[in-house]
Amino acid sequence: MDFAAVMERMRRVRSAISHHDSAERFRKFGADIFLGEARFSGRDTIEVAGKTLRFKKAVIATGARPADPPIEGLSQAGFLTSETVFNLTDRPNRLLVIGGGPVGCEMAQAFRRLGSEVTVAEKNPQFLTREDRDAADLLAAALERDGVDIRLNTIVTRVVSSGGEKLVYLETGGNSGAIAVDEILVGVGRTPNVEGLNLDAVQVKYDDEGVIVNDYLQTTNPRIFAAGDVCLPFKFTHAAEAAARVVIQNSLFLGRKKFSALTIPWCTYTDPEIAHVGLYERDAEKLGIQLDTFVVQLRQVDRALTDGEEEGFVKIHVKKGTDKILGATIVARNAGDLISEITTAMAGNIGLKRISGIIHPYPTQAEAIKRAADEYNRTRLTTFLKRVLSVWLSWTR
């Protein structure tokens, strides 16, 4: 693999799409752009680049940055993050990834497939602790097949630079050891950018999780809103965009749009991908909601067998005794695409009964969703109807 060529292409593609967030694009829309560090300076003023701007409404959208874990010697030794790793031009022969969350798993698999020896240190007993356990276990198996050295229940205690390499001390279940690596990638979450904004001057409350907002995305100052990673528990680009739409409606058009009313899916872009929307089983249990769950393994789907991608599943949760979809997890190569059908159904209040009647093209992996809906329909058959159907099928053979 030509690592330098891969990274050069990635940077070229990133540059090609960067105009979507460019200052020039927004100037063409008619927005006035002021570049510089901004801070609230009064109840209705912001200082930026030596200018004072007055506002009737304001939005805090300063985002978040990769977290910097307090590990002895890490800063001195140097490390990569999801923002700096793409600047590499030479492939690290040995890479340690701290954290088995989405970023850690994505980068670990990518660099292993690009030829690096990769070790992942995750402090919890499973990857992707927020995800469905079955999904996380499938991903762990995929990473292990790729040759990733997986260290669960493991913490990094300190890092020492030595002779051009980094010596990393690990602790697993009371046992200590050290490994030598060329680079360290930290993927343990994100820290909201609230420093230097002088939020106290405008009575905007915040904590370690970011700016505090209500369901309308208003801060503790009703004239000031927030959107994106600086305030949301879902730190995804598509969630930030959805929040921006809520803020526009509520701040400019006297709307009462609730962020909690949105149906937000997400996806971890590994191979296979893991996509989810709605409630997990543990969430429903905490809320006292009983579920019926329907699972279709990809090995039951012809297209997945043809593609050689039979390791995965579609798991759909409905409110017990109904076809109302409350959540779903999909593990598949294109799970991020497949989850949109279920997200649309949930947002449109379409249940599994309707989905069962929708024709899906054959052969596609999306057929797994229809099969899950068919499984629901089978539960609606009474014992008498099952007997009648069995007799009818025997006559038609």
Q: What is the pLDDT of residues 275-305, one digit of tens each?
A: 999 999 999 999 999 999 999 999 999 999 9
Same domain? 160 vs 105: yes
Can you give the pLDDT at residue 173? 85
Can you give the pLDDT at residue 309? 94
Same domain? 327 vs 279: yes
**Residue showing tokens 């779903």:** 328
Nearest to 135 by CA among 266, 265, 318, 276: 276
User: Which domain covers residue 15, as residue numbers?
Assistant: 1-33
CATH of the domain at 242: 3.50.50.60
Chain mean pLDDT for the chain: 94
Same domain? 257 vs 226: yes
Residue 107: CB partners within 8 Å, gap ≥ 6?
82, 85, 97, 185, 187
Reported residue count of the chain is: 397
Q: Could you tell me if residue 348 is inside a domain?
A: yes
- The answer to whether the beta carbons of residues 202 and 140 sit under 8 Å apart is no
Nearest to 98 by CA among 87, 113, 85, 115: 85
State the DSSP string of 298-318.
GGGSHHHHHHT--S-EEEEEE
Same domain? 42 vs 6: no
Same domain? 44 vs 144: no
Give dist(CA 98, CA 150) in Å, integer.
11
- The answer to whether the beta carbons of residues 97 and 120 sit under 8 Å apart is yes
User: ω before 272 within 30° of 0 (cis)?
Assistant: yes
Helix (H, G, I), strand (E, B) or coil at 220: coil
Can you give the pLDDT at residue 397? 61
Can you give the pLDDT at residue 45? 96
Nearest to 60 by CA among 253, 276, 218: 218
Can you give the pLDDT at residue 36? 94
Nearest to 119 by CA among 68, 191, 169, 82: 169
Same domain? 271 vs 221: no
Same domain? 80 vs 176: yes
What burial letters (b/e) apply to 107-142, b meaning 16+ CB within 10 Å? bbbbbbebebbbbbbbbeeebbeebbeebbebbbeb
Last residue of a domain, one of 188, 206, 229: 188
Q: Could you tell me if residue 69 is inside a domain?
A: no
Q: Residue 130, Cα to own-chain centre: how many angstroms?
A: 10
Q: Could you tell me if residue 214 is inside a domain?
A: yes
Can you give the pLDDT at residue 386? 61
Give dist(CA 227, CA 231) in Å, integer.
6
Can you give the pLDDT at residue 257? 95
Q: Could you tell me if residue 297 is inside a domain?
A: yes
Tokens representing 248 are: 């526009």
Query: In the chain, how many domains are there?
Result: 4
Same domain? 199 vs 289: no
Same domain? 59 vs 20: no
Last residue of a domain, one of 147, 163, 188: 188
Tokens representing 320 are: 């017990």
Q: Could you tell me if residue 222 is inside a domain?
A: yes
Q: Could you tell me if residue 373 is inside a domain?
A: yes
CATH of the domain at 368: 3.30.390.30
Q: Could you tell me if residue 367 is inside a domain?
A: yes
* Beta-bridge partners for 72: 158
What burial letters (b/e) apply to 370-396, b meaning 16+ CB within 10 Å? bbbbbbbeeeeeeeeeeeeeeeeeeee
Can you give the pLDDT at residue 21? 83
Can you give the pLDDT at residue 365? 96
Same domain? 80 vs 129: yes
Last residue of a domain, one of 145, 173, 188: 188
> What phi and psi, each to the nearest 5 degrees, are found at residue 245?
-65, -40
Same domain? 57 vs 22: no
Q: Could you tell me if residue 174 is inside a domain?
A: yes
Stretches where the chain sits below pLDDT 70 are 381-390, 392-393, 396-397
Quick count: other Cβ atoms within 10 Å of Cβ 102?
A: 23
pTM: 0.91
Quick count: other Cβ atoms within 10 Å of Cβ 301?
A: 27
Give dist(CA 157, CA 294) in Å, integer.
43
CA dihedral 293, 298, 300, 306 (to 10 degrees): 160
Quick count: other Cβ atoms within 10 Å of Cβ 95?
A: 25
Same domain? 93 vs 164: yes
